[in-house]
Amino acid sequence: MPRPDFAEYGTYFQRYIDYTPGNDARQVIETSVAALEQFLSTIPEEKLHFAYNPGKWTVAQLLQHVIDTERVFAYRAMCIARGEEQGLPGFDENVYAENATATNRTLSDLTEELLLVRKTTLILYKYIDDKQLFRKGIASNNPITPNAIAFIIVGHVMHHQKILTERYFSAIASALH
């Protein structure tokens, strides 16, 4: 299976695809499960409601954002794979964050949900055939394929793992010294 080419997604998503190693959409998702589980185990529970600057999301809100985004993108992949011809809407991540209940969640809750969402994404892709994988649809007014969506889903999480490591965890370490 080839990596997504530029005709399979809007340019905005290039940064997420660049994070994602590999060439096979299904394998990219499958190998991401263990890495995601390992990364989530490094997040300190006591810092779940920490934000590195005023006005920035807390760790819990960021994890909820990742969950919500994966659900939206998996839905898009399913719709397009099934032949949906209508354009699929975008979503406002900040509105979603404002209306989510991340502040009432535990790290265990968020970890469990994110891993379950990833595993259901994996199952979805297990039953998308090669023709469906490369079917083009429209989401957020951009062309996109389920193939590209798999790389975007994994790359989006990797992007936020980097943010957590560089901005949140480094700020936590600095505060402890």
Q: Per the structure block, which two tokens stand in for 29?
A: 């998702």
Tell me the residue type at 36.
L
Q: What is the pLDDT of residue 177?
A: 45
Is 77 within 8 Å of 128 (Cβ atoms)? yes
The structure tokens listed for 51 are: 């934000």
Report field, pTM of the whole predicted structure over 0.85: yes
* pLDDT, average across residues 19-31: 96
- What does pLDDT average to over the chain? 94
Task: For 94-109, write each residue's pLDDT tens digit.
Answer: 999 999 999 999 999 9
Closest CA to 4 of 162, 143, 125, 159: 143
Distance, in Å, from the CA atom of 67 to the CA atom of 97, rounded to the nearest integer, reads 11
- Read off the pLDDT of residues 98-146 as tens digits, 9 standing for 90 and up: 999 999 999 999 999 999 999 999 999 999 999 999 999 999 999 999 9
C-alpha–C-alpha distance, residues 60 and 76, integer Å: 24
pLDDT of residue 175: 54
pLDDT tens readout for residues 27-76? 999 999 999 999 999 999 999 999 999 999 999 999 999 999 999 999 99
d(CA 76, CA 40): 25
4 near 17, Cβ under 8 Å?
yes
